[in-house]
A = this chain, B = another copy of it.
Amino acid sequence: MKNIILASSNPHKLEEIQNVLSPIKINTLLEIGFIDEIEETANTFEGNALIKCETIYQLYKKPVISDDSGLLVHYLKDAPGVYSSRYAGQNATDQMNYEKLLNNLNDIADRRAKFVTVICYYQSPRNIAYFKGELTGSIAEQPEGYNGFGYDPIFIPEGFNQTLGQLSSEIKNRLSHRARALEKFNLVF
């Protein structure tokens, strides 16, 4: 992302320039003062994405976007799926999660996997939309690279010979499951 300082103290100019250059302004939970954890108790990506949006919408009554993502490994019958971020336990680190996965695939030839993201856009209780993005690929033999987060160091996208952890954020942001879901959102809004 490009950070640019606007050298103007004119609020009208700020609004017009923000509008054209950057029509969507994303407010973070920190900015709005929400510091709790949201429990993700559903067993689908859509369900968890909805829980996150609903929790925030109920409090702030403003449009909310949320993302629930996970890694589906074919040999493991689509595990870890919605449990990806807590595969190795409730407070597992990224590294603990992907090491458990590598262990479970030890000596297994079938390394097919895909990343899934579901974006939920919650404008109001009567106007909720979902956007899904997928990225197919395979699980590497060992972690490589330090970019990204989660399972990125062990996931090799189809057509590449490097993990998401090795690819630049520019490339990841063009091809990733999250980018694909967000592009669908962009087409509609």
Contact surface of A with B, Cβ cutoff 8 Å:
1-10, 12-30, 32, 35, 37-38, 52-53, 55-56, 60, 62-67, 121, 148-150, 169, 172-173, 176, 178-179, 182-183, 185-186, 189
Task: Identify which of A3, A17, A28, A65 gathers the most chain B CB atoms within 10 Å of its CB.
Answer: A17
Contact between chains at B189 and A5 (CB < 8 Å): no
Majority SS at the chain A contact face: mixed
Contact between chains at A17 and B65 (CB < 8 Å): yes
Contact between chains at A28 and B1 (CB < 8 Å): no
A24 to B24 Cα, complex, angstroms:
10
Per assembly, the copies of the chain total 2
A121 to B183 Cα, complex, angstroms:
27
Query: Shortest distance in angstroms between A12's beta carbon and chain B's nearest beta carbon?
Result: 4
Contact between chains at A18 and B26 (CB < 8 Å): yes
Contacts of A5 on B, CB cut-off 8 Å?
Answer: 26-29, 32, 56, 60, 62-65
Query: Shortest distance in angstroms between A54's beta carbon and chain B's nearest beta carbon?
Result: 9
